[in-house]
Structure 1
């Protein structure tokens, strides 16, 4: 007798889901090389950070990756959330906008402590998580303050993203034990490099100086580069309270005007910081290179240094431009020379480099944003980056050859589908790119497009098509940098992974260290920290817009269209680097249709395409949802109607 055929079992995977604000999610798993995509209708009440069981839809698996649906929430990622009251209900209850829930509001039970007002920021204890059939419910755990108070923006983000703020007394006490100066005892057994001309180059506002540089050149033209990194591992030992706290935080978080450090200020801003004119303990990577920038040999040593100067990027640039005198001018110019050699070699191996604009937000003591400053990625930034890349690659290669445990910084290449879609997009804008381009061909495209109106759009589109870099014990190389071996070593004051790598170098890791668990935890905390930073920056930009509107209600802003879709146009307000969108339904001057990557007026032939410069005006600002609604200002260019 033939046994009955068993139905094919549907794979079920378990993991921590990442939910996008628009409602869909991704589940990283060991079973699949790509994250499992979960469409919004199949989220089934899960929120960002929940541990879930996901059923894989085997018929929907494609080159882009598997697709699935949430079967059950195994464990909630948190018991409390941050939210803002947007609606008052009967009997003292209210409804709050909770970013974690997307468009769904959470009902807040009446509180004896406070009569709710619209705009109240709350920490909410979740009583019941919602689903498609019922609403989420919670009760006020604590009152943060009102949305109108900008001094509370960072505090609200700390609650929303479950970040760590103040250090416990025990942790601070442990940090203070080391004193304020490096002892003679601590210097013993280290290579004395205090005779080298050494200095730091950092942002103007920085206080935690992780790295310092030295460079000389001999008569043969060979370069002798020294990259000195703060020896945080000397103070933060495995099993200590400092180590437990640093591991829980994983990284420092930087907000406009403030920082949540990974380590207490006694270490991060003092004893570990490579401040000028004082002895500091470091791990130095000493690299000898020929005149073309090829590495001849290297050494990695525990050392003592004394930085001679603390340069800001701006001051170093003034020296290089001859606008300010400095006894370090010759060395700075030599660093620029070596930087160019290294950039050439990086270009040859297929590293991809983007030149996207960046800004710095300045706030006052009350948290009010005062101005936005554009940060130029000039040669001083580039030389520091090149030398840090060299140090990180050297350490990764060294540890891999030594077969020591290592957490790599990995970056997978884009899927063939994503690459093909990007090539189609680039070709539609007149560039020649094959369906499966090499990194060299991609870099040539970005170089060619840099001065084009669509250059920034193409670079941003490619970045979005790539997977995020992360940490892993499984080395797959770093696609963006074109490297076989790469790790993070150069910032142990602000990144826990770097501290772990320092310990691995000298065999100082805990014998029971779970490197893969650390890699996963640090990758996740990095993602959350970036979301928190971006959230506060966006809110500050909206506050700046609000102030600008109060000063001039009719103000118009210059913007550039960054993407055109059948439903409308995305744009960026250049002054603030803030994104906006106007739907095609709001274009009243004509009926617009989508053709050839443009929106074209059927009667007037007025068109909108990527790269076009436009003017927009603020219609509504919503601090609670961090949203700006815009109107398109007519250009005044009247095109003749077709008859």
Structure 2
């Protein structure tokens, strides 16, 4: 069946709105309306109806009121009102016979390619990373035409990974010179006059627990217990004292909206004089805080709370690993009794969160280890142990208390909201869980899902289920309108605990003590959401490149190295799998299964061999070998261990240049090249 062509005008009964489009790697997109009062939810845009819009573009769309897909309301792009960027980062992929260049551009979505004409006296090589200025965005029949602005480096140079991502995603990496000068004049220690009017909490036993590599310490903890219950203090750096609204620091922080974390490097929201020094709750340093003081009874029920401007003295800087060793009795510490109390209270709070239906996705994190030049040399699997859990529980509680403070007083705030997922997406997740053998009734509640994950924690399917559940969810975003947080099962929630690295939290701090909210709170919330998404994509792009470099190094060291994986998704054309423990998604095409010809049984979501009866289904363990890796296109070719010695089935291999690029450049509009 022929797909309908993109429309140029809207049908009379289709509502027209504007918004920002976010493109999925598979080509389809979602548009977030710029004015939620006109349309309150994101609109799904099928791949063939997005024209040549790319991620982040501001577009005008029409909403097809006659059609609603499983992904929600559906629409089509009428026009691109404003491009998200006029510059791209591409990698020289093909040099054609005339000396012109085809560049692989990841941020172009499914198009993936740009064209640069040859210039006399200037030449580039395959693998060069180039900053491009867009001359013509092309269309469905012609590629994007660009000119080269500068050479960033090459794909073979690990030191260019982060600079390339910074330019590609528009991350503000350098602070303006005038801001650097102002930062240099900041005091090294907290002046005595700054302590006036604040609660003195220096007598509390206080410490921080953070990753080994952390330098910006947003939060510190104090906890005691008596016959009435627990007395918790969550101390958060008072960044708002130093970063006043409208100041040069504030204007730059607003543009950045958050810090961006790459392997081995951080692009901070605030200059280091603030983020790593004056605001950071460093060990054995007097620091200003906004502290949430909360009392619980012996069962962990919240009794009372208050929010105070204070100052503290952190006695100890713990890493997660060190705190865990203290709790395990491997090293001695005078802070052991307090850590044990924290574990007690943490478990009580976790139990209550579980009872209300909050889903706990405690997945291990893979951290890629890099040297000073950005070369990956290994990885660390960081387990979500009790020390991570107790910090998270106390931060969640502080955020909840602050959100409730605003709600009870009917005051404006920037809330962290997480809307209820679509029923269609949830049904897809339920079907996966049932196919993996987990019992679920016909209409599972949020509590049922929570129980499912408790049951699945000891299962090999836990990671697959967690990823599938996350994908079925809507994104958590910032909003001036409070609709609750589905994932946490909370009616009120905001971000308060990380003002050094999140602008939303800094705004929250100001709103606590400044009763006149800024008039543009809605715009601030929207910008914070968009910048958060951009930073996440930049971070993921660099982590992916580092993982590929690591795999490439392993392949050179041992071409026959065997990897273990778990089959995660079945399609008629092949299957996806998770490479353990790297949390890397691989794919094997059906034509690369060399022992048989396989057919897809949709009913049982299984690939079945026609002759052998052998099958592949979700959750199956795999042993695979990396056959090829391409750092330019970010692609890997995997084969099953059992097929390593077998010849591949014959098939014609398509040439991108022959079938795609050449066809597109044959149009009259490109003949001048």
- TM-score, structure 1 length as denominator? 0.95
Alignment of 1:365-514 (within 5 A): 365-507=372-514, 512-514=518-520
Between stretches 314-323 and 81-90, larger displacement belongs to 81-90
| Structure 1: distance between partners of 2:480 and 2:164 | 34
Whether the 8 Å contact between 1:457 and 1:563 is mirrored in structure 2 is no
| Structure 1: distance between partners of 2:12 and 2:201 | 66
- DSSP 3-state at the match of 2:454: helix
Match of 1:523 among 529, 537, 542: 529
CA separation of 1:557 and 1:84: change in aligned 2, threshold 3 A: same
Alignment of 1:538-617 (within 5 A): 538-595=544-601, 596-617=604-625
| Structure 2: distance between partners of 1:427 and 1:568 | 22
Q: CA deviation at 1:131?
A: 0.5
Q: CA deviation at 1:513?
A: 3.5
Whether the 8 Å contact between 1:107 and 1:137 is mirrored in structure 2 is yes
Between stretches 384-393 and 75-84, larger displacement belongs to 75-84
Matched, 1:18 2:22: yes
Whether the 8 Å contact between 1:358 and 1:376 is mirrored in structure 2 is yes
Q: Counterpart of 1:125? A: 133
Whether the 8 Å contact between 2:294 and 2:302 is mirrored in structure 1 is yes
| Structure 1: distance between partners of 2:162 and 2:320 | 27
CA separation of 1:105 and 1:614: change in aligned 2, threshold 3 A: same
Alignment of 1:130-529 (within 5 A): 130-220=138-228, 222-507=229-514, 512-529=518-535
| Structure 1: distance between partners of 2:269 and 2:156 | 29
- DSSP 3-state at the match of 2:424: helix
User: Deviation per CA, 1:223-260, whole angstroms, max 9, x where unpaired?
Assistant: 11000000000000011110010000000000000000
- DSSP 3-state at the match of 1:28: strand
Whether the 8 Å contact between 1:120 and 1:143 is mirrored in structure 2 is yes
- DSSP 3-state at the match of 2:487: coil
Match of 2:46 among 39, 47, 58: 39
Between stretches 416-425 and 435-444, larger displacement belongs to 416-425
CA separation of 1:113 and 1:167: change in aligned 2, threshold 3 A: farther
User: Deviation per CA, 1:57-116, whole angstroms, max 9, x where unpaired?
Assistant: 222125642211111111112111111111113554311111122334211133467311
Q: CA deviation at 1:433?
A: 1.7
Whether the 8 Å contact between 2:208 and 2:220 is mirrored in structure 1 is yes
Instruction: State the Cα RMSD in Å.
Output: 1.7
- TM-score, structure 2 length as denominator? 0.91
Whether the 8 Å contact between 1:111 and 1:140 is mirrored in structure 2 is no
CA separation of 1:179 and 1:211: change in aligned 2, threshold 3 A: same
| Structure 1: distance between partners of 2:471 and 2:121 | 45
Q: CA deviation at 1:597?
A: 2.5
Show structure 1 runs of 5+ residues with no match. 1-6, 637-643
Between stretches 10-19 and 392-401, larger displacement belongs to 10-19
| Structure 1: distance between partners of 2:344 and 2:377 | 37
Equivalent pairs, count:
629
Q: Counterpart of 1:639? A: none
| Structure 2: distance between partners of 1:127 and 1:90 | 22
| Structure 2: distance between partners of 1:346 and 1:248 | 35
- DSSP 3-state at the match of 1:117: coil
Q: CA deviation at 1:25?
A: 1.2
Q: Counterpart of 2:669? A: none
- DSSP 3-state at the match of 2:450: helix
Between stretches 619-628 and 531-540, larger displacement belongs to 619-628
Whether the 8 Å contact between 2:595 and 2:643 is mirrored in structure 1 is no
User: Deviation per CA, 1:403-429, whole angstroms, max 9, x where unpaired?
Assistant: 221010000111112222222332233
Q: CA deviation at 1:621?
A: 1.0
Between stretches 89-98 and 21-30, larger displacement belongs to 89-98
Q: CA deviation at 1:600?
A: 2.0
User: Deviation per CA, 1:257-297, whole angstroms, max 9, x where unpaired?
Assistant: 00000000000000000001110000000001100111111
Whether the 8 Å contact between 1:92 and 1:116 is mirrored in structure 2 is no
Matched, 1:633 2:641: yes
Match of 2:89 among 61, 82, 91: 82
Whether the 8 Å contact between 1:56 and 1:68 is mirrored in structure 2 is yes
Q: Counterpart of 1:533? A: 539
Whether the 8 Å contact between 1:212 and 1:274 is mirrored in structure 2 is yes
CA separation of 1:62 and 1:43: change in aligned 2, threshold 3 A: closer
Q: CA deviation at 1:177?
A: 2.8
Whether the 8 Å contact between 2:115 and 2:145 is mirrored in structure 1 is yes
Q: CA deviation at 1:309?
A: 0.1
Between stretches 622-631 and 532-541, larger displacement belongs to 622-631
- DSSP 3-state at the match of 2:197: coil
Q: CA deviation at 1:512?
A: 4.1
Whether the 8 Å contact between 1:594 and 1:600 is mirrored in structure 2 is yes
| Structure 1: distance between partners of 2:82 and 2:391 | 43
Whether the 8 Å contact between 1:496 and 1:522 is mirrored in structure 2 is yes
Between stretches 30-39 and 315-324, larger displacement belongs to 30-39
| Structure 1: distance between partners of 2:203 and 2:582 | 45
| Structure 2: distance between partners of 1:88 and 1:95 | 6
